[in-house]
Amino acid sequence: MPPSRDDRADASAPRPVVLVTGGAGYIGSHACKALERDGFLPVSYDNLCTGWADAVKFGPLEQGDLLNRKRLDEVFAQHRPVAVMHFAALSQVGESMAQPGKYWLNNALGSLNLIEAATEAQCGAFVFSSTCATYGDQDGVVLDETAAQLPINAYGASKRAIEDMLANFGESHGLRSVIFRYFNVAGADPDGDIGEFHRPETHLIPLMLDAIDGRRPALTVFGSDYDTPDGTCIRDYVHVSDLVDAHVLGLRYLLEGGNSRVFNLGTGTGFSVREVVDNSRAVTNRDVPIVEGARRAGDCTRLVSGSTRAKAELGWAPRRSDMATMIADAWRWHQNGHYDR
């Protein structure tokens, strides 16, 4: 059961454990902070191939790989989590086009190990970090949860496969899941405790801030001939703090007996690459050096959510997902030297 309001007020009360895979990564570390704040004990399970041990600040770290079933079983037996929050995945679209086997092995097979370990440990609540990339490139289509899933790269295809696994295990073992298909995640913790850092960096806003700050020569804009008003890709952005708030709401929904459900997480507002750059100039008062590059294989023209289901059913209310706030929070994290690892 989720902790009651009295439990959260009593520091001595035992806290329900949530196993957070990828808890040392960008979104996972923010989720751990939100879980700790809400009365849970987040246990991060991470192989640290893309995560950082110093981002694990709100509960213990258990180092391990999803492909290591024995290690997973040990962690489930030791901590006896009431739920899993699954973020761990490879997520670079270009790499997934060039090395699809790597994505099917890590994302799909690793997730199968995790799902089987959870069901055998009788951990029956599962919150899954999926992606809008499962929808593929569907220009002119309102992307709500009923839209066709037509992924155009191995990253999106592997995530769709995991959604199918969860449905299968729901039917066979009663595993209940909340699946979040979300759009581009941006920003950083407003308190400055954690933020976004990847090596190599592939996300637009940190790449842009690197270029502003002289950490790279310029921001490369991949493709300027898309069928959009300014020729660059359009994406829906959501603040990482708003995103993880939705995950906690989804967790509570499951722990209170909710049935399996899929939710899109986006704002319904799309920004082109050039619009993001224009916003950054206004926030940072600095110019962004840009070079034009060719399109990347696997990139869609437009991905924008058309769903309000999470707001209607979970009570999710994004508070920091305007573009200026997302850039300002990321810029503050960036300027405080957290990128120097």
Active site residues: 155
* DSSP run (H or E) holding 276: helix 273-284
Q: How far apart are CA 229 and CA 70, in angstroms?
A: 52
Q: Is 106 within 8 Å of 161 (Cβ atoms)?
A: no
CA dihedral 135, 141, 146, 148 (to 10 degrees): -40
Q: How far apart are CA 178 and CA 84, in angstroms?
A: 10
**Helix-strand-coil percent breakdown of the chain, rounded to 5?**
40, 20, 40
Strands of the sheet with 41-46, listed across from one edge = 61-63, 41-46, 17-21, 83-86, 125-131, 176-182, 261-265
Q: How far apart are CA 9 and CA 12, in angstroms?
A: 9
Both tokens of 325, joined, read 């706030």
